[in-house]
């Protein structure tokens, strides 16, 4: 029996590195409500990204960050604009967040090259007149350019909120292309490479948008205890902020470690002549290693071979959100061919910061022996 290789084995800061922060919490006796650790996490994250500290607000998870970004950045639906336009090629959380804000999801297809919405194509879409928000997604952390959606917003008048998912790790070196006035919600879930357990944040260069998002994350309270706007409780706890601070302190090392794993993967797939079909950092977040198959049939054969070899894999987004039970009757375009094809041909391969070369070689060998 071969050793099983799990599809994803995250590694977050260890207990020892959390201790100094936990001791500070023992002292402050502040455990949530944008306490000292959460506020320090926000400003150190802002510094890393080269934006003002008022541009970043932390949240208890990526889904709540997105809900608050929609409420604070686009508001709630109206009778004439009940829809949230969502790419079906995403994690279900995008649609769930829109629905929790009162919008009806309307699923559209993605561009075959960028795997996300095409802003210029969307300007022509007939549903636009009935949409209260559009939510472009960074699939697998592949970052979404601000400028496309600024132009879209200006020309259509429809607010955009970006579900930036796992893309925090991918924007650090070029944050100004990916951060701007459009509110952008990130997930800091354990499975993303910038993971802190459960957590998220919203970033926008417009301070008043972030102030409103912050109020939406905190019962709608703006300065007083009066619930003034649509809201939820989506605040980051001080315990998770401690993980965030510890992660910031070791981020360079973590990034280097993940980069080494990705380099090994690239070398192995390169030896088999398959470099073009392998996707990982820096195109997408380092928590994913994706192999793009030519056809669904080829994908089926590769998945069977991986299974025989005890190598775990995942079709991360399934065949699209519109295929999930709860969303089967949701409004959508009749045909979503790119979503359905990517959904069954982009195979998530094993990834971990400490994945070893022999395991990587085994994965690449099984994949290459099967494709035709």
Q: How far is the CB of 67 from ligand PLP (least distance, A)?
A: 10
Q: CA-CA distance, 372 to 19, in Å (whole number)?
A: 52
In three-state form (DSSP H/G/I as H, E/B as E, the rest C), the secondary structure along 103-158 is: CEEEEECCCCCCCCCCHHHHCCCHHHHHEEEECCECHHHCCCCHHHHHHHHHHHCC
- CA–CA distance, 65 with 285 (Å, rounded to integer): 19
Which lies closer to ligand PLP via its Cβ, residue 91 or residue 149? 91
Stretch of residues binding ligand PLP (CB under 6 A), selected from 59-67, 168-176, 322-330, 343-351: 59-67
Tallying the residues shown for the chain, one arrives at 372
Q: Are 40 and 176 in contact (CB under 8 A)?
A: no
Yes or no: say if 136 and 87 are a contact pair by the CB < 8 Å rule.
yes
- The residue from 51, 56, 69, 93 that contacts ligand PLP (CB under 6 A) is 93
> CB of 88: closest distance to ligand PLP in angstroms?
12
Kindly state the DSSP code that residue 59 receives in the 8-state scheme.
E
Whole-number Å distance between alpha carbons of 149 and 120: 9
Residue 318 gets the label, from left (phi > 0), alpha (psi -120 to 50) or beta, of: left
Q: Which residues of 264-297 are buried (b: 16+ CB within 10 A; e: fewer)?
A: bbbebbeeeebeebbbbbeebbbbbbbbebeeee
Instruction: Count the alpha carbons within 13 Å of 357 in the hemisphere toward its beta carbon.
Output: 5
Q: Which of residues 338-357 bind ligand PLP (CB under 6 A)?
A: none
Q: Which residues pair with 137 in a beta bridge?
A: 163
Q: Within positions 247 to 306, which residues make up the interface with ligand PLP, using CB under 6 A?
A: none
Question: Applying CB under 6 A, which part among 31-39, 61-69, 104-112, 300-308 lies near ligand PLP?
Answer: 61-69
Q: Which is nearer to ligand PLP, 137 or 367 (CB)?
A: 137
**CB closer to ligand PLP out of 189 and 212:** 189
Per-residue contact flags (x/-) with ligand PLP for residues 176 to 215, judged by CB under 6 A: -----------x-x----------x---------------
Size of the site for ligand PLP (CB under 6 A): 14
Backbone CA torsion sign across 327, 329, 333, 338: positive
Window 219-248: residues binding ligand PLP (CB under 6 A)? none
Q: Which of 58, 94, 216, 218 binds ligand PLP (CB under 6 A)?
A: 94
Per-residue x/- track, 151-180, ligand PLP (CB under 6 A): ------------x-xx--------------
**Binding to ligand PLP by residue 98, rule CB under 6 A?**
no
Q: Which stretch binds ligand PLP (CB under 6 A): 89-97, 142-150, 253-261, 320-328?
A: 89-97
Which residue from 34, 42, 58, 62 is in contact with ligand PLP, where contact means CB under 6 A? 62
List interacting residues with ligand PLP (CB under 6 A).
Answer: 61-63, 90-91, 93-94, 137, 163, 165-166, 187, 189, 200
């Amino acid at each position: 029996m071969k050793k099983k290789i799990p599809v994803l084995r995250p590694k977050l800061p260890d207990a020892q590195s959390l201790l100094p922060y936990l001791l500070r919490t023992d002292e402050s006796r502040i455990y949530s409500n944008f306490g000292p650790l959460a506020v320090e996490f926000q400003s150190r994250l802002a510094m890393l990204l080269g934006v003002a500290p008022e541009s970043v607000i932390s949240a208890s998870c990526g889904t709540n960050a997105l809900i608050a970004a929609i409420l604070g950045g686009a508001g709630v639906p109206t009778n004439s604009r009940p829809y949230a336009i969502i790419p079906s090629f995403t994690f279900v959380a995008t649609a769930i967040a829109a629905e929790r804000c009162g919008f009806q999801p309307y699923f559209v297809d993605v561009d075959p090259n960028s795997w996300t919405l095409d802003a210029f194509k969307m300007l022509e879409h007939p549903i636009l007149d009935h949409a209260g928000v559009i939510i472009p997604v960074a699939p697998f952390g592949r970052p979404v350019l601000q400028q496309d959606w600024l132009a879209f917003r200006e020309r259509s008048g429809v607010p955009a909120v970006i579900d930036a998912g796992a893309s925090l790790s991918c924007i650090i070196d070029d944050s100004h292309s990916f951060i701007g006035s459009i509110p952008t919600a990130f997930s800091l879930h354990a499975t993303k490479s910038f993971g802190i357990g459960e957590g998220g944040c919203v970033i926008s260069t417009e301070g008043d948008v972030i102030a409103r998002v912050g109020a939406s994350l905190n019962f709608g309270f703006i300065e007083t205890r009066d619930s003034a706007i649509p809201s939820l409780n989506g605040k980051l706890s001080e315990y998770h902020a401690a993980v965030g601070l510890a992660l910031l302190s070791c981020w360079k090392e973590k990034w280097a470690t993940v980069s080494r794993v990705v380099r090994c993967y690239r070398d192995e797939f390169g030896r088999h002549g398959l470099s073009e079909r392998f996707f990982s950092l820096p195109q997408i977040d380092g928590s994913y290693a994706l192999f793009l198959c030519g056809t669904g049939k080829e994908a089926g054969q590769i998945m069977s071979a991986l299974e025989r070899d005890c190598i775990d894999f995942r079709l991360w987004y399934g065949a699209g959100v519109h295929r999930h039970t709860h969303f089967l009757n949701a409004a959508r375009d009749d045909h979503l061919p790119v979503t359905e094809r990517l959904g069954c041909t982009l195979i998530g391969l094993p990834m971990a910061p400490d994945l070893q070369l022999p395991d990587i070689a085994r994965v690449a060998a099984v994949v290459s022996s099967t494709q035709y």
